[in-house]
Structures are given as structure tokens and as C-alpha cells.
Structure 1
């Protein structure tokens, strides 16, 4: 038996196996289509809102030195690095 024959036999066996599994699933779902046969799990949790510690810090009046202005493009990031507005630890080629 050559490797090609072996691969073809193996491919055929796997094809038949998976086709049989698909066919078996198809037969099982066709048989039990009634509404009472379907099982559905539902979970209900009583979740109470919790005050986050971030809200408490900002409400206490402590301001951070870091200002967040949103995302910047790569070109703006390099400009900020040139102006030494951002701290970077590795060398950046401009």
C-alpha cells in the first residue's frame, strides 16, 4: 500500500464517519421538534449597583496630574515625544 492509497482510505473513512455523525444529528433533531422537548436554561441574578471607588476619588476633589484627551495618531504621538510631553523609555527614530 502506498502513501497515497493510505491517505485516500483515511480521507474516505473520516468522510464517512463525519457524514454519519451529521446524519445522526439530523435524525435526532427531526424527531423531537415539540415545544415540551426543548430545554432552556435561564439564570436570574439579583444584582445591586455598587458605587465604584473611581467615583469616590474624583468626588473627593483629588485631581490627577495626568490629563486624558483621547487617542492620538502616530504622527501626533511622535510630535508629543519631540516636545517631551510624553515619557518614553526606548529610543524612537523620527
Structure 2
């Protein structure tokens, strides 16, 4: 037996195996009496409402506790970080 025959036998066995699995799955799906079906149905009486823009106006932004954030050197930034004086408001982008 050479490599070509070996590969053909392995492929044939796999194809037969998957064909049996697919046919068994199809036969199980066609059975008319399946009392264990797990389907969930929701029925709600929902009536759409028309919303106007002035009904849901966005609230004013809350005032920040920091009024200004002057530039600092890297050494000062590390010193402020050690004293927990920095306020992180968003992720830092390095790209």
C-alpha cells in the first residue's frame, strides 16, 4: 500500500463516517413526534408611540471637578501618579 492508497482509504472512511452522521441527524429531524422541543415563544401587546424631541431632551453635562489641565512634564506626571493626583477619564491611545 502506497501513500496514495492510504490517503484515499482515510478520505473514504471519513466521508462514510460524516455521511452516516448527516443521515442520522436528518432522520432524527424528520421524526414527527418530538415532545422535547425547546422553543420559546413570547407574545406581548406592544403599541408603538410617537415620541417628540422635546420630551426626551438630553440633560446638560455635569460640571467637571477639574477646571484646567495644564501640561506637565513626564517627570511631573509620574510624581502626580504616585500621589494619586491624576484623574483618568478615558483610555490612552498609543496609535
More helix by share: 1
> Which has the larger Rg?
2
Confirm or deny a common fold (TM above 0.5).
Answer: no
TM-score by length of structure 1 reads: 0.42
Q: Which has the higher contact order (CA 8 A, sep 6+)?
A: 1
TM-score by length of structure 2 reads: 0.42
